[in-house]
Amino acid sequence: MKNPAPSPPPEKPARKGALRPALLAAARTLLDREGADAVTIRAVARACGVSHAAPANHFADRRSLLTALAAELFADLAETMENALAGAPQNPANKGFGTARLTAFGEALVAYGLAHPERYRLLWRRDLLDGEDAALQGTMDRLYARLLEELSALPLPAGKDPETAAVGLWSLCHGYISMRLDGNFIARRDKESGAPRHSAMIANYLAALAPQAHPA
Amino acid sequence: MKNPAPSPPPEKPARKGALRPALLAAARTLLDREGADAVTIRAVARACGVSHAAPANHFADRRSLLTALAAELFADLAETMENALAGAPQNPANKGFGTARLTAFGEALVAYGLAHPERYRLLWRRDLLDGEDAALQGTMDRLYARLLEELSALPLPAGKDPETAAVGLWSLCHGYISMRLDGNFIARRDKESGAPRHSAMIANYLAALAPQAHPA
DNA sequence: CAGATCTTATTGACACTGTCAATATATCTC
DNA sequence: GAGATATATTGACAGTGTCAATAAGATCTG
């Protein structure tokens, strides 16, 4: 049974302390394919070819495993959003009000949610996650701060609280994604603009922030 | 052991076919107190003082029980919303654009969500509910249709799709509630108007629908 | 190199869940 | 009352998270 050769036999578990990332990878696959319910400790262990209690050495409990996964996913989302912002034009320094960057922000958020339903859902499953987790909390806060930063860079008209505007944009996107993922709205196009409904929705919202609406 | 008296002994289960409503009532209590996770078939049975398999005669499975409960809750919500609309002023027939009724709609929705976290959450837990259920589906559709009806009664400016406006308002409220219930936003007041943030948010959104914004 | 220590994995158990099958007990109808 | 129907009980099974005891490997120490 014992292999005297010192070279690692090419088994499934890659020798070193590689079980933890393997568990997270398996969890991610399971999540995408069958949803958060299917991400059980035992199923993840099975997928990695280890015993049902092996994960306990890396994650105290199921909540801890899912929280670590969610932290990864949130980092992915944050990166996606950052890329979207990087690709958006800078605000015109003097020309006043540009909503291109906020549009990019909202569109990227909705796109991610619709593209990765189970991942997006998990991010907000507070019953499954440890809300106190520093990594998770930190990434979320940073993303929100990023939005607030973009909004504060704009010359909002008097009477508009930038924080209310930020909460509004986020709520709008989050609500739309949630409803769509729950099968409640249908992917349609705006009857007037012909754009996807969520795009028109975001555009309408952002136009309202501008000092003066410019009607067609 | 056998009681020859024909009068019903005053035990917990009220004699007749009263187990079904009793189960639903117990489920509601459990939901409010400990969340949807705690609403298990066995826990509900325990609360009613019956055996763990008794509920099977009234609900095929857990999903069926939760769906029936959610249908009740949705009906409650619909009634609350209807009352809110009934209390709102009629639209001025000639004076053009009145957002009072839409405001009432949004405010009532948010108020319900914040007041009954677990109930509101359950309504959208598609993983726990039977989305095909006619009663559930019907109540939801009617509520959305009601919103659309209110919106269609308004003279939206050219270039605004009423359905996009409806989806937007609903998304805004739903997203805000969801975030709040997940502990992500904090109850604050709008820095400018001094109103609760969600009120300012809704007001801003609705003002944007009007043909012409009237700055202060 | 040998021994001790720390990390990691395994096995087995417990309580809890949903769900099914077989059984018993009401209640209603004729 | 007798049969039929609706409802409740008991017991079992597989699945889950989690804990304790054990075993094996790696790593550090001398």
pLDDT at A93: 62
Nearest-Cα residue of chain B relative to residue A185 = B167
In total, the C-beta contacts within 8 angstroms joining chain A to chain B are 143
The stretch B34-46 carries a mean pLDDT of 98
pLDDT value at B143 more than 50: yes
What's the confidence (pLDDT) of residue B94? 56
Nearest to A30 by CA among A49, A47, A9: A47
Rounded to whole angstroms, the Cα distance separating B200 from B210 reads 16
pLDDT, residue A13, reads 41
Minimum-distance nucleotide, CA of A48 to C1': C9
Task: CATH number for B10-59: choose from 1.10.10, 3.90.79, 3.40.50, 2.40.128.
Answer: 1.10.10
pLDDT over 50 (residue A136): yes
Query: Is the CB of B52 within 7 Å of strand D?
Result: yes
The answer, yes or no, to whether residue B164 has pLDDT greater than 90, is yes
Decide if B75 contacts B68 (C-beta within 8 A).
no
Hey, which residues 23-42 in chain A have their CB within 8 Å of chain B?
35, 37
pLDDT band at A215 (very low <50, low <70, confident <90, very high): very low
- Scan residues 44-63 of chain B and list those with Cβ within 7 Å of strand C: 52-53, 56, 60-63
Residues A148-162 have a mean pLDDT of 90
How many helices and strands in chain B, by DSSP H and E? 8, 0
CB-CB neighbours of B42 under 10 Å:
12
Q: Do A201 and B164 touch (CB under 8 A)?
A: yes
> How much is the pLDDT for A209?
85
CATH 1.10.10 in chain B is located at: 10-59
Average pLDDT over residues B10-35: 82
| Predicted pLDDT at A212 | 59
Looking at residue B91, its pLDDT comes to: 75
The answer to whether the beta carbons of residues A115 and A179 sit under 8 Å apart is no
Residue B214 has pLDDT above 80, yes or no: no
**A168/B205 CB distance under 8 A:** yes
Give dist(CA B43, CA B38) in Å, integer. 7
Average pLDDT in chain B:
89
Determine the nucleotide nearest to A58 by Cα–C1' distance. Answer: C8
Q: Any residues with CB less than 8 A from the CB of A198 and at least 6 apart, and which? A: A107, A110, A173, A176
A155 pLDDT more than 90: no
- Higher pLDDT, residue A3 or A95: A95
Q: What is the model's pLDDT at position A94?
A: 56
Strand ranges (DSSP E) for chain A?
A: none
For A93-102, A167-176, B161-170, which range has the lowest pLDDT when averaged over its residues?
Answer: A93-102
Share of chain B above pLDDT 90, in %: 78
> Domain A61-209 adopts which CATH fold?
Tetracycline Repressor; domain 2 (1.10.357)
Q: Mean pLDDT over residues B113-125, rounded?
A: 98
Q: Is the per-residue pLDDT at B166 higher than 80?
A: yes
How distant, in Å, are the alpha carbons of A29, A33, A74, A109, A209 from that of A116?
12, 10, 12, 11, 29
pLDDT at A81: 96
Whether the CB of A57 is less than 7 Å away from nucleic strand C comes out as: yes
| HEC-encoded secondary structure of A33-76 | HHCHHHCCHHHHHHHHCCCCCHHHHCCCCHHHHHHHHHHHHHHH
Inspect the interface and report whether the beta carbons of A159 and B213 lie closer than 8 Å.
Answer: no
Cβ contacts of A205 on chain B, cutoff 8 Å: 168, 205, 208
Question: What whole-number percentage of chain A has pLDDT above 90?
Answer: 78
Rounded to the nearest integer, the mean pLDDT of chain A is 89
Q: Do B126 and A182 touch (CB under 8 A)?
A: yes
Residue A9 pLDDT greater than 70, yes or no: no
Confidence of residue B16 (pLDDT cuts 50, 70, 90): low
Residue extent(s) of CATH 1.10.357.10 domains in chain A: 61-209
* Chain D, protein-covered positions (CB within 7 A): 6-12, 15-21, 25-27
Cβ distance B176 to A175 less than 8 Å, yes or no, reads yes
